[in-house]
Chain A
Amino acid sequence: MLSIVEIDYGTPKAVSANTVILQIDGKNISVPEGTSVMRAAAQAGINIPKLCATEMLDAFGSCRLCLVEIEGRKGYPASCTTPVAAGMKISTQTPKLAEIRRGVMELYISDHPLDCLTCPANGHCELQDMAGVVGLREVRYGYEGANHVFARIPASKGQKAAIHGRTHELVPNPLFSPKDESNPYFTFDPSKCIACSRCVRACDEVQGTFALTIQGRGFESKVAASQDNRFLDSECVSCGACVQACPTATLSEKSLIDKGQAEHSVTTTCAYCGVGCSFRAEMKGEEIVRMVPNKDGHANHGHSCVKGRFAIGYASHPDRITTPMIRASIADPWKVVSWDEAFAHVGSEFKRLQATYGTHSVGGITSSRCTNEETYLVQKLVRAGFGNNNVDTCARVCHSPTGYGLKATMGESAGTQDFDSIEKTDVVLVIGANPTDAHPVFGSQMKQRLRAGAKLIVIDPRRIDLVRTPHIKADYHLKLKPGTNVAVLNTMAYVIVSEGLVDHDFVARRCEPEAFAKWSAFVSQDKYSPEAMEAQTGVSAEAVRGAARLYATGGNGAIYYGLGVTEHAQGSTTVMAIANLAMATGNIGREGVGVNPLRGQNNVQGSCDMGSFPHEFPGYRHVSDVATRELFEKAWGVPLYNEPGLRIPNMFEAALDGSFKGLYVEGEDIAQSDPDTQHVTAALSAMECVVVQDLFLNETAKYAHVFLPGSSFLEKDGTFTNAERRVSRVRKVMAPKAGYADWEITQKLAQAMGYPMNYGHASEIMDEIAALTPTFHGVSFDRIDELGSVQWPCNEEHPNGTPVMHVDEFVRGKGRFMLTEYVPTREKVNAEHPLILTTGRILSQYNVGAQTRRTANVMWHDEDRLEIHPHDAEERGINDADWVGIASRSGETVLRAMVSERMQPGVVYTTFHFPESGANVITTDNSDWATNCPEYKVTAVQVTRVSQPSEWQKRFRAFSNEQQSLLDQSAAAQPADTLGQQ
């Protein structure tokens, strides 16, 4: 079912500079060339009946309802498949058309259940609407004939037997298929199917999974998932595009079935990955009926994934904590307190810590899951309220190298393009990213472009899905050894320089000549020839040469990368190597090219923009910069510290040496997501006041002294900035369950610390950001409402935002080539730890899983598994699903094995979505040289078959049980009159 508020124009929008003028029902209409007659009519307010057509799909022409008459042409062409032509004269309503349409509908309805009043689509069913539109009054064929509607049908005359005297014996209907309720989020009721193929086409054209098909011929045609499997057992990725496309109740959200039609719709932004999809929250009062991707959403164009569309149940999960709690020690039960008590307690504790241990003994951590406004306020609280710069964000452990590397080379810590740029790309280079799992909606757009002919280079240790997926095959898959990104990129640079593939014109015009000369000499060293590096990288020289030639000469080349680039000891070096390649080949500064970091979480870009790194004010301006500091001092009314503060890992070190005592953590779960868990929990245990603001009692909160219940993205106003620098609105659709939006909590804490903050609405925070940040000067809630979304820089020079950066010159002026020496990681395999562990994500789960684990998405992934190559498994006597111990020099954990040929021998892989998996118990303290981003992607391990959980897991379980019981005790002790308040 389509959105309740969107107008469906029937066929996709055509883009053309040429305009065609035609006449429909006597009205003169002008539309771009390539527009269908159906769409041209709809844009003029003339609605031609339709069933198989929808704007989200290409025209199909199967339902024969949208027929029209065109003057001078024979017959009755389908308006959806007929493009406009100059001077056409079209009639959409004639007696003959009415007769044909009624005949078509009569046939449809003769094989459709008539339970409209109790049908979930009632009120928004396109079939019902069309029956009304064509004036269907009778079904002359009756309903008894061959049909898909009834489970049992009267036996045919030959079969009829007078058993027990009955003459109407019923037998199973071979055409009937029962309802498939296997998918947790939607049902498939084939009895209501009209075989319009919209679901099949959505799966092909929108999602690109090809999980659905029309099986059988003629009247036996039916929709089937994979080989006629249940949806859950099929290749379906549950993106929901088919459910959205379905014109009847055949595919219906279970939430719609439960709740009935929504009555209003609010446009907001998804709180999952860095694609930042725009959604329409379709509501009944304060209750969400369903989430429908916004077809006008600039990042997603009406598409979504299983997380954004369906996995929102966590927001109302019973695990949500909705009252503030405090305790003196983590061995004590929680005490439920009022908000005022909680604020006063934190204020007095942090003041006490600063009085006792010094100004710099406290700090704050913000999260990419927070809005821009929230992040901005946390760093403001730290800088202005605490008087130090000890603020950091979880981008520290994901994309901090992107910030460093892109700033050093091009001058701005952000991706260079918008997502739609890929429509003009000829060669897609994906390195260390798995878009179809981690950025699924952009992954679908990428697949569409690849199917349309763009070439593909994948650089990844694993055979990710993109390497071979229906109608896509990577031209090159450089299956490198983990930790050799820089080596591989240097060999590509070697080929580009030594084979004369450099775009010298671009380099001469746009880049620093000395830096280029130095770089060119550097990468031309013999040691970086693909042949010389083969043994280290595991990639054949021939493949490297082929890939380098393709990227340099194949037309517009665009690089997409993810955490497989950044989360290495050489993360920043790799980002710079990527930027070097793009500059050397002139692949910067126009549509179709660029360097595109795919951000893991929705607001990674935003949290970095908002000044949450300890050395930078909002807009990436260093704290030592006098003019900037004075600007903020004037605005904030206090002197500000001019030296960088502590990064997250520095905070842990400082906590362990006794100089860092208090931490305010908003929306981040460092005890699960940061490396070397035992080190992190030791640091947390060494602090005197850990304040956690979150939806749930997460792993970090188990070490906290104060818990402040936060609000989900549905409960507050704000903005998120996605991987394209696109600032989109988050809109409140229900009241905060705990009483306050997160920015209000930070504001109250600031007040309790004696620093005044008095914002009345999140928009006022954005106004302050805009006033103080040159790249945001033109951003305001009103402006975003006006444009739908806006990509920064948005200011006087770029009032409508900036889809592509570095167009005429780099932000830093001239592009700077950086040297990128390959330095093998310290994390080396040896006899004790002979395998390399690398980590990643899976489609159905998100990050630490705090949200998605509390939804039915666990049906796809309910535990983290260790993927291991059959050879390595066999050597160790490991079978699929065996329990295996994974030991590194940091620690040991136990997971179940998944034997998989996607792995290369010597490399094992796991996800980190479940805390008890302890993936970060094994990761080490190695980190990126420039930013301390942890080396999550390379850990030397040994894997052995085991029969019981690791020692850490046993301790983890005992500790978690204890913390749960302390929480339960607090609930039991809570006075009845405070229950349910605020």
Chain B
Amino acid sequence: MHIERLITMANDIATYFTSEPDHATAVNGVRDHLTRFWDPVMRRQLKTFVTEGGEGLLPLANEAVEGLNVPAVLN
């Protein structure tokens, strides 16, 4: 998928959690949201993007994606 679209969507999610005063809760919030609602292919694509630098992602999104669980095998 277009990575720009995924970046926008991830940043939108991160923006919602920005007002959360507890940083760890905010990071978990973004990560949990991505895990619960995003197709694993999208998660993997975003995670790969982050390992390659993740330019354009908000710091909170970046941090959340770093620890994001992506299934090893996608059939």
Contacts and interface: CB of A to CB of B under 8 A. Distances in A.
Contacts of A659: 41
Contact of A615 (B9, B15, B36): B36
B1 A650 contact: yes
Contacts of A657: 1-2
A624 B5 CA distance: 25
A823 B17 CA distance: 11
A657 B39 CA distance: 15
A925 B9 CA distance: 11
Interface stretch (A21-29, A252-260, A312-320, A638-646): A638-646
Interface string A644-673: 111100100110110100000000000000
A594 B9 CA distance: 31
B33 A518 contact: no
Given A615-B36, A930-B16, A643 B71 contact: yes
Interface string A560-577: 000000000100010000
Nearest to A359: B75
A821 B16 contact: yes
A573 B16 contact: yes
B75 A929 contact: no
B53 interface: no
A365 to B, nearest CB: 15
A932 interface: yes
B20 A360 contact: no
B2 A823 contact: no
Contact of B15 (A643, A656, A823): A823
Nearest to A615: B37
A650 B75 contact: no
A929 B1 contact: no
Contact of A358 (B20, B36, B39, B75): B75
Contact of A518 (B9, B12, B16, B21): B21
B54 interface: no
Interface string B37-75: 111111000000000000000000000000000010011
A522 B18 CA distance: 12
A654 B1 contact: yes
Interface string A795-824: 000000000000000000000000101010
Given A359-B75, A650-B1, A657-B1, A644 B9 contact: no
Given A518-B21, A653-B2, A644 B38 contact: yes
A614 interface: yes
Interface string B1-43: 1100100010011011011110000000000010011111110
Contacts of A821: 15-16, 18-19
Contacts of A932: 9
Contacts of A647: 37, 39
A657 B6 CA distance: 13
Nearest to B40: A643
Contacts of A622: 36
Nearest to B26: A819
A615 B2 CA distance: 22
B39 A819 contact: no
Contacts of B19: 522, 819, 821
A358 B1 CA distance: 16
Nearest to A525: B19
A102 B5 CA distance: 79
A930 B5 contact: no
Contacts of A644: 36-40
A643 B73 CA distance: 12
Interface string A825-847: 00000000000000000000000
Contacts of B16: 573, 821, 823, 929-930
A742 to B, nearest CB: 27
A614 B37 CA distance: 8
A877 B24 CA distance: 56
B5 A646 contact: no
Contacts of B13: 929-930
Contacts of B33: 930
Nearest to B18: A821
Tell me what chain A mostly uses at the interface: helix, strand, loop, or mixed. Answer: loop
Given A518-B21, A821-B18, A569 B12 contact: yes
Interface string A918-934: 00000001010111100
Contacts of A653: 1-2, 5
Interface in A663-698: none
Of B21, B36, B39, B40, most buried by chain A (CB within 10 Å of CB) is B39
Contacts of A569: 12
Quick one: which of B16, B20, B36 has the most chain A CB within 10 A? Answer: B16
Nearest to A821: B19
Q: Which of B9, B12, B13, B74 has the most CB of A within 10 A?
A: B12
A317 B38 CA distance: 41
A929 B36 contact: no
A705 B1 CA distance: 24
B39 A643 contact: yes
A615 B42 CA distance: 14
A929 B20 contact: no
A643 B40 CA distance: 7
Contacts of A819: 19-20
Given A650-B1, A653-B5, A657-B1, A360 B41 contact: yes
A930 B36 CA distance: 11
Nearest to B42: A650
A390 B33 CA distance: 18
Interface in A477-535: 518, 522
Nearest to B33: A930
A654 B40 CA distance: 13
A522 B15 CA distance: 16
A667 to B, nearest CB: 24
Contact of B39 (A522, A624, A646, A930): A646
Nearest to B19: A821
Contacts of B41: 360, 654, 659
A795 B50 CA distance: 47
A176 to B, nearest CB: 67
Nearest to A387: B75
A608 B69 CA distance: 27
A390 B74 CA distance: 14
Given A657-B1, A930-B13, A650 B39 contact: yes
B15 A614 contact: no
A929 B39 contact: no
A622 B36 CA distance: 8
A633 to B, nearest CB: 17
Contacts of A573: 16
Contacts of A654: 1, 41
Nearest to B43: A643
B15 to A, nearest CB: 6
Nearest to B5: A653
Contacts of A624: 36
A746 B24 CA distance: 46
Q: Which 4 A-B residue pairings sit nearest by Cβ, starting from the closest?
A: A821-B19, A929-B12, A653-B1, A643-B40
Given A360-B39, A657-B2, A930-B33, 12 more contacts: A569-B12, A614-B39, A643-B71, A647-B37, A650-B42, A653-B2, A821-B19, A927-B12, A929-B12, A929-B13, A930-B13, A930-B16
27 contacts: A360-B74, A360-B75, A390-B39, A518-B21, A522-B19, A573-B16, A615-B36, A615-B37, A643-B40, A643-B71, A644-B36, A644-B40, A650-B39, A650-B42, A654-B41, A656-B2, A657-B1, A657-B2, A821-B18, A925-B5, A927-B9, A929-B15, A930-B13, A930-B16, A930-B33, A931-B37, A932-B9
Interface of B: 1-2, 5, 9, 12-13, 15-16, 18-21, 33, 36-42, 71, 74-75
